[in-house]
Structure 1
Amino acid sequence: MRIVFATFGSFGDLHPYIAVARELGRRGHRPLIASFAEFREAVEGAGVEFAPMRPDMAGFGDRTAVMERLVDPWRGPEFLVRGMFMPHLRESYEDLAGACRGADLLVTHPLAFAGQLLAQKQGLRWVSTALSPITLFSAFDPPVLPAAPWMQWARRLGVAPYRWLFRIPRAMVWRWEAPLRAFRAELGLPPTGKVAQFEGQFSPRLHLALFSGVLAAPQPDWPPNTVVCGFPRYDGAAPDARTRAELETFLAAGEPPIVFGLGSSAVMVAGGFWRAAIDAAQSLRRRAILLTGNPPEALGAAPPTIKVFQYLPYSAVFPRAAAVVHSCGIGTLAQALAAGRPQLIVPVAFDQPDNARRAAALGVARSIPFAKASAGALARELAALLAAPHYAARAQDLGARVSKEDGARGAAGALEKYF
């Protein structure tokens, strides 16, 4: 079976599909991932066929400036939809149509708007996906919306009032999607009253929840054809021999370190976070590993108790940490939960505040907003985290469960069963 995955976003939006595609390849199918051109090396390096799909991230200018706009809780979502994807619908559609020639099935990320149109226009079998619970927008298990955290409190009034208030963000997004409706009409498709980012994102045939059931239980308003698969964990390329040796040498030299990482998005807007992390670790007399996304020398000289790496697979270092500090993108959270280590979460934007809330509710994490993550705040929260044994005990118990989940296998099995 020829299966095309269409996705946009960061590595956190790519790696789960690589995991599923690799599993499908092992089963004799022919998967292909269509996404930003810059992901070609990562996808093909994992042994999966790749096709570029516009827009091209290079066309948006300086990455740090782009990310600074995206993480703004008020303007960021509008810029993402209106400024980045709506102007390039035609190009996305053309590229994805080429990638889908001869395809038996199309699997889409919520931001792959062209996929919904292509499936309807060409009669392609289509499966939708959710990488984290927030994109299901349940009124029974309401997510933390970065631009409207007060909606969590509104839910206390009941489901009906919450749904009534949810019409406010829905109306905003409906306006953003005007170009999508216009392009839909141009393709000769019938008009729709659905919002593509909300109820319009779901396939009528199968919807895959690519996260663990420990994060969210099925709700009455989830699509009835939803299958919870577990986390499809994939961690990128293995480090080279020199990096592995440096890691092992540092780990062997003392007690387990605190590991600080900001994923592949928040790392672009880290600002003074790494210096704060170093100061917090030193004030606690703790060793630490920093995964900064940049060459170690860019941070300057670090104390001997601090080791800086540009990149390490989280699965190689999280299980060996005393605690993990991260921004709670869904891919990072998946690895942290599977590692079974207590967590301090510093959510920045997107699904991160909601993921952080869920991790804290599980009893494995403490959380403070990224904007408040000063050296003093990090030190206080880490001291509390490490002093309370129930965080480590709960993390270990949950890690034993999550590490046994095979989300890639679950997703591949669901695709085979239904199609």
Structure 2
Amino acid sequence: MHLALICPPFKSHIAVFETVGAELVRRGHRVTFVLNAGAERYVTEGFDVCAVEGTDARQMERVIDRASRPSGLLGVLRTVHDTAMLTDALCEHAPEHLRALGIDAVLGDQMEPAAGLLARHLGVPIISIACALPIERDETIPLPFLPWLYDPSPKGIRRNRGGERVSRLLLLEQNRVIRKWSRRFGLGETFHDLQSCLSDVATIAQTTVGFDFPRTSANSRLHMVGPLREEELEEEIPFDVDSGKPFVFMSLGTLQGHRASLFAAAARACRQLDVQLLVAHCGGLDREQVEALGDTWVVDFAPQRAVLARADLCITHCGMNTVMDALEFGTPLLALPIAFDQPGVSARIVHHGVGSRLSTRLATAAKMGRAIGTLLSEPGYKKRAGEIGCTISAAGGLRKAADIIEAAII
């Protein structure tokens, strides 16, 4: 089988699709990334890539830069505009490429509606992948980008419905593009929003039932298999960690690693608490900013899983990969959600009692210090994180995801 991998041009999403694609190749299938032109350079060498016209490298850089610096309502609308533009380009130019490639099925990111539209247009099956929180609706669960806590009461359900009404207004441009291509592809009005473009066969999500909010709507198509990653060889931590002092790891991911003020606040807090801190900024800081931190260790990248296996606390922007890695090792979390589904991930951290959260706008050194001190001193956080971690280890991960994909398309 030849599968098209269609996802947004963000490194974290591409990395997930690379992992799934590599597993499918090992099982005898062929995979080809079908991406907006300009995003092909983010794909690891060795994968086949089809760059779809309508965008270029400079435009892609601007899209990614804007996504890394969301700010207020205008920032949200700008991101919606960018994503709608990417969807429009894929729908306009990708069909001829997919036909020429002889694609048998599509693996599509939940956040790229073009995947669902193109699959239906070509009459091939689609399997959705939720690199972030799954967007399948449940009336008791707030939308993923909202920081609201779980409240299944009538009041909470009314609140969630209000959030959905606001969301529809914010996503008008994206929804117009979806409806336009649904009509042009001869699909009528069937496809009108992101939810309608999801697979009607299977969705694979990187979260687990144990970490998600309780769902009241049964959905046999939603498979929460946990992190989609390769089994890694054990790595040594290249730092001389003092076992007599608490050890904290901080990462804000590849898009938010430039936020020097948050790293600085954490560094001051850890110095005051006499806590060891490792900052991994993913290339987001320059030399001056690194030197100004004066932390125990500051690096571009660190062997994250090895570090989290040793860490007493993880300070995170609530990217799904980092959160799942931390919880698998029973490491509590201090959540600093910034954008996308990160507020929703932080709400689940609070709901399950595996950490606490701070607003990035109010995250002073003093507030971080109090939060870090509490998380390190109260053993309940670590205990509950370990319990969630057991659900991650048992969820099936990459191998189960590949089994589901094969069962759906063969």
TM-score higher than 0.5:
yes
Mapping of 1:203-222 within 5 angstroms? 203-216=199-212, 219-221=215-217
Superposed CA offset, 1:110-158 (max 9, x none): 2323222221221111122323335223212223544xx6797796426
Q: CA RMSD in A?
A: 3.3
Q: State the 1:175 CA deviation.
A: 4.8
- Is 1:412 aligned to 2:410, yes or no? no
Structure 2 counterparts to residues 203-352 of structure 1, below 5 A:
203-216=199-212, 219-221=215-217, 223-233=219-229, 247-251=237-241, 255=245, 257-268=247-258, 270-294=259-283, 297-301=287-291, 306-352=296-342
Change (3 A) 1:103 1:259: same
Offset of residue 217 of structure 1: 6.1
| Distance across 1 between alignment mates of 2:212 and 2:148 | 20
Partner of 1:50: 49
Residues 307-352 of structure 1: per-residue CA shift (max 9 Å, x gap) = 1101123213111212110010112212222232111111111100
Asked if 2 retains the 8 angstrom alpha-carbon contact of 1:259 and 1:290, the reply is: yes
CA shift at 1:164, angstroms?
6.8
- The aligned amino acid for 2:211 is L
Which string of whole-angstrom CA distances, capped at 9 and with x for unpartnered residues, describes residues 336-386 of structure 1? 222321111111111001101112222211111222211111111000100
Structure 1 residue 122 and structure 2 residue 118: aligned?
Answer: no
Following the alignment from structure 2 to structure 1, what is the Cα–Cα distance between the partners of residues 383 and 253? 25
Greater Cα shift, 286-295 or 125-134: 125-134
Read off the aligned partner of 2:310 and give its amino acid letter: R
- The amino acid of 1:58's aligned partner reads R
The residue type paired with residue 192 of structure 1 is E
1:56 shift after superposition? 4.2
Q: CA-to-partner distance for each residue in 1:263-307, whole Å, 9 max, x for gaps?
A: 112224x14112112111101111110111236734243677611
Q: 1:357 aligns with which of 344, 347, 352?
A: 347
CA contact (8 A) 2:141 2:150 kept: no
| Contact 1:97/1:118 (<8 A) preserved | no
Distance 2:149 2:292 in 1: 43
SS of the residue aligned with 1:108?
A: strand
Q: How do residues 102-117 of structure 1 correspond to structure 2 at under 5 angstroms? A: 102-117=102-117
**Distance 1:87-1:334 versus aligned 2 partners, 3 A rule:** closer
Deviates most, 344-353 or 316-325: 316-325
> In the alignment, what sits opposite 2:382?
392
Counterpart contact for 1:93–1:118, Cα < 8 Å? no
Q: 1:408 to 1:280 in 2, by over 3 A?
A: same
Q: For 1:65-108, what per-residue CA distance to the aligned partner results, in whole angstroms no more than 9, with x for missing partners?
A: 51365x23523333223234336613554246525621211011
Distance 1:361-1:91 versus aligned 2 partners, 3 A rule: closer
Structure 1 residues 96 and 176: CA distance shift in structure 2, 3 A: same
Q: Give the secondary structure class of the aligned counterpart of 1:177.
A: helix
Whole-Å Cα distance in 1 between the matches of residues 245 and 194 of structure 2?
A: 46
> Hey, what's the Cα distance between the residues in 2 that align with 1:57 and 1:209?
29
Q: In the alignment, which residue of structure 1 is the partner of 2:14? A: 14
Could you tell me which runs of 5 or more consecutive residues in structure 1 were left unpaired when the two chains were aligned.
239-243
1-10 or 127-136, which deviates more: 127-136
Q: How many residues align?
A: 406
The answer to whether the 8 A contact 1:327-1:370 is kept is no
Native 8 Å contact 1:318 1:335 kept in 2: yes
Residue 241 of structure 1 corresponds to: none
Are 1:197 and 2:187 counterparts?
no
Q: State whether residues 93 and 114 of structure 1, in contact with CA within 8 Å, keep that contact through their aligned partners in structure 2.
A: no
Structure 2 contact 142–150 (Cα < 8 Å) conserved: yes
Q: Check whether the contact 1:328–1:345 (CA below 8 A) recurs between aligned residues.
A: yes
SS class of match (1:12) = helix
Q: Is the 2:128–2:203 contact (alpha carbons within 8 Å) kept by the matching residues of 1?
A: yes
